[in-house]
Amino acid sequence: MEECPHGLGTSHDTSEFACECLALWWEQQGRDRYPTATKLLLLCDGGGSNASNRHVFKEALQHLADRLGIEIRVAHYPPYCSKYNPIEHRVFPHVTRACQGVVFESVELVSDLIARAHTQTGLTVTTSILNRAFETCRIVRDNAFPK
């Protein structure tokens, strides 16, 4: 049985939100599942809150790596190649099926629907609601990255 946790936000999809979702996974499951891990590899699409050209994402990841005490590396898929990302096939179709035809009236409803996603091989999906505001239009500090 494999459990796939997801963060569900009530604010904006920002780099900080993406990092908080990763931190949530690490603290709730990753640390226990991989107790000897010294680094994480993230497979990311090329756009949105985790775009490869966004310094805000890189800064947020560095803060997260410092907070968790683990090295974080990122592999970005080229544009239009996200279909090769394993999560596209392992999780998203099942979440889509669980939400099909439902009008989203509350974040709790969406969380419950996502939690219904599962496969015959034992994949289950859990959600945690990140109910806080994530600031948009953040600017990277001048001293964020050493020269």
- Position 78 scores a pLDDT of 84
- Position 17 scores a pLDDT of 83
Q: Is residue 45 part of a domain?
A: yes
Q: Is residue 15 part of a domain?
A: yes
Q: Is residue 147 part of a domain?
A: no
- Position 147 scores a pLDDT of 52
- Position 69 scores a pLDDT of 93
Q: Is residue 120 part of a domain?
A: yes
Q: Is residue 59 part of a domain?
A: yes
The boundaries of the domain holding residue 110 are 2-130
Q: Taking the CB of residue 96, how many other CB atoms lie within 10 A of it? A: 10
What is the Cα–Cα distance from 35 to 69, expressed in whole angstroms? 12
Question: Which residues in the chain come in under a pLDDT of 70?
Answer: 1-12, 49, 138, 140-147
Contact (CB, 8 A) for 130 and 110? no
CATH of the domain at 65: 3.30.420
Q: pTM, whole model, 2 decimals?
A: 0.74
Tokens matching residue 32? 């226990």
- Position 7 scores a pLDDT of 67
- Position 1 scores a pLDDT of 44
- Position 12 scores a pLDDT of 63
What is the Cα–Cα distance from 64 to 67, expressed in whole angstroms? 5
Tokens matching residue 73? 């590396």
Q: Is residue 141 part of a domain?
A: no
Beta strands in the chain (DSSP E): 2-9, 39-44, 71-76, 123-130
